[in-house]
Structure 1
């Protein structure tokens, strides 16, 4: 690390950083870089957020820039629209994934449409941060995966980080974007650690990356499932199978070129996500890759995901969540062709 700073949340003092701290440091850099950047959300100020992602930011930047909002998601996002119209760059935190629905109308009717409605004259530089997914033993409406609702909405960009390094860089890129960005944060990965070099040059916000090279089959995943797929690839290697893992990072737009290049090398694709398989992002990826790479495929594209049912009580969530065994079962089926 080359940056010398004693500010709370600055990653320069440690060789490893958690995903939550990566987000905190990225938001700090965004606040420092542009006085028009504002944060708003329930309990994000003095408390630092439920997951402490914004810890210390209100203390350092003041209550006028890190704002504790009322418990009203529609009000948070609606206010952000007004702020964006006045030239600010608001970053909204939705405390849990299942709490975003009161703001759904604001997001899909205003945030997503304003740029087109104004014939390109009015930008909507709004970031809406949403902790998403399960695996933390939470109650109802705290473990959902609503990404497809927003990826299906024209006018929104939808991204998700899977590791601390991407968390640090991607949140800064999202804040700097003139387009509205829905930023999903895999809450069960908040405490995962990774090495961070703050002097590195980040990649394109909407570019997928190959997280592990392989030759026999491609696993495409995003958010919390990237780690599961990397574990599956390691387990498969013990049985002589070489799996390539693609971290999609962006769901709207999707970097189909990177996935296609991988699939045309390996001949097989399994798409993995925590959200239900039915009408999930995996369906779009499977259809596009089948259209693009039909003659390169050695097996049908398979999907692994959650079941088409409401998220279960915490004691049953391990049965619901796609895990190592379900991913490896799909790998075995694809390799059997």
Structure 2
């Protein structure tokens, strides 16, 4: 039997198997996603999931900044999560291009390009593989401005990395390594909780004077859907959001965690008569000490 005939013959069972697997993956989700009602939204909006919002932000960055470059493993083909889909065709292979499978090389090239004046947006295909680039990001990117006394820097650098578990990624496709970078002066680290935050924070990072790391919870890429601003849109880095107001306990998290915490707050209210305040840090470096301290001072208890 030819390969084409074999594919046609197997197509029906394959589709059934994919549907079953998708059902199992969806059942593994440990939270119910609720759209963002806290972030300020103005002007025209359209429904986007999170990877579409990221794609839209990258499109905006390339359109508004002729020096912007996007690169990484399989980026030219749209990336494994489709976040760069269509960008190479629109802006050309000199601005959107693939790299070898070498994370330290991706980070090193990104730093060099940023130092030379380009706005560099690099992707580490999975956050689990960011560790080979750790030295470049922590010892080079973060310290450029400090070690030169402000003479030069690589502030026009943003590194994106899909993070977290989705139920079938195993040990090399499920990690959330953001805490390793949270103690590094000179870097900024953000983790969006949904499409609106993803677009607004990514554009803010791309235009920020410091090198930024954006960890994107991959489980939200398709599950999170919101009405996202169509126009150029930025949100502040370092400003936390109070998602649920309460009087007894403060619950603090970021990214996917906050959706779980919102459910915990609801259960605590119903089962224990405990009023929980839920805070999304939004960025863990810098983190919003004022909002957190004010909440903890009111409650005296936090998790």
- The DSSP-based 3-state class of the residue aligned with 2:117 is coil
Bigger relative CO (Cα 8 Å, ≥ 6 apart): 2
Asked if residue 222 in structure 1 is aligned to residue 254 in structure 2, the reply is: yes
Asked if residue 175 in structure 1 is aligned to residue 206 in structure 2, the reply is: yes
Aligned 8 A contact 2:204 2:235 in 1: no
Structure 2 unaligned segments of length 5 or more: list them. 1-41
Q: Runs of 4 or more off by more than 6 Å in structure 1?
A: none
Once residues 235 and 43 of structure 2 are traced to their aligned partners in structure 1, the CA distance between those partners, rounded to angstroms, is 20
Aligned 8 A contact 2:199 2:233 in 1: no
Q: Which residue is 1:334 aligned to?
A: none
Once residues 201 and 29 of structure 1 are traced to their aligned partners in structure 2, the CA distance between those partners, rounded to angstroms, is 9
Q: 1:60 aligns with which of 76, 81, 90?
A: 90
| CA apart distance, 1:269 | 0.6
Once residues 27 and 102 of structure 1 are traced to their aligned partners in structure 2, the CA distance between those partners, rounded to angstroms, is 25
Once residues 201 and 108 of structure 1 are traced to their aligned partners in structure 2, the CA distance between those partners, rounded to angstroms, is 29
| CA apart distance, 1:40 | 0.8
Once residues 216 and 200 of structure 1 are traced to their aligned partners in structure 2, the CA distance between those partners, rounded to angstroms, is 39
- The DSSP-based 3-state class of the residue aligned with 1:50 is coil
Q: Which residue is 1:235 aligned to?
A: 267
Q: Which residue is 1:193 aligned to?
A: 225
C-alpha RMSD over aligned residues? 1.7
Asked if residue 69 in structure 1 is aligned to residue 99 in structure 2, the reply is: yes
Q: Which residue is 2:20 aligned to?
A: none
Q: Which residue is 2:243 aligned to?
A: 211
Once residues 259 and 167 of structure 2 are traced to their aligned partners in structure 1, the CA distance between those partners, rounded to angstroms, is 16
Q: 2:110 aligns with which of 66, 80, 90?
A: 80
Q: Which residue is 1:308 aligned to?
A: none
Count of residue correspondences: 259
Asked if residue 111 in structure 1 is aligned to residue 111 in structure 2, the reply is: no
| CA apart distance, 1:119 | 0.8
Per-residue CA deviations over 1:96-139 (Å, capped at 9, x if unaligned) read 11111111111112111111111112121211111111133113
Change (3 A) 1:53 1:145: same
| CA apart distance, 1:2 | 4.8
Asked if residue 246 in structure 1 is aligned to residue 279 in structure 2, the reply is: yes
Pairing 1:254-273 to 2, within 5 Å after superposition:
254-270=287-303
- The DSSP-based 3-state class of the residue aligned with 1:64 is coil
| CA apart distance, 1:200 | 9.2
Structure 1 unaligned segments of length 5 or more: list them. 4-11, 271-337
Asked if residue 144 in structure 1 is aligned to residue 155 in structure 2, the reply is: no
Q: 1:26 aligns with which of 50, 53, 57?
A: 57
Asked if residue 92 in structure 1 is aligned to residue 122 in structure 2, the reply is: yes
| CA apart distance, 1:72 | 1.0
| CA apart distance, 1:23 | 1.0
| CA apart distance, 1:263 | 1.5
Q: Which residue is 1:158 aligned to?
A: 189
- The DSSP-based 3-state class of the residue aligned with 2:75 is coil
Aligned 8 A contact 2:199 2:234 in 1: no
Once residues 190 and 201 of structure 1 are traced to their aligned partners in structure 2, the CA distance between those partners, rounded to angstroms, is 19
Q: Which residue is 2:158 aligned to?
A: 127
Change (3 A) 1:197 1:234: farther
Change (3 A) 1:268 1:201: farther
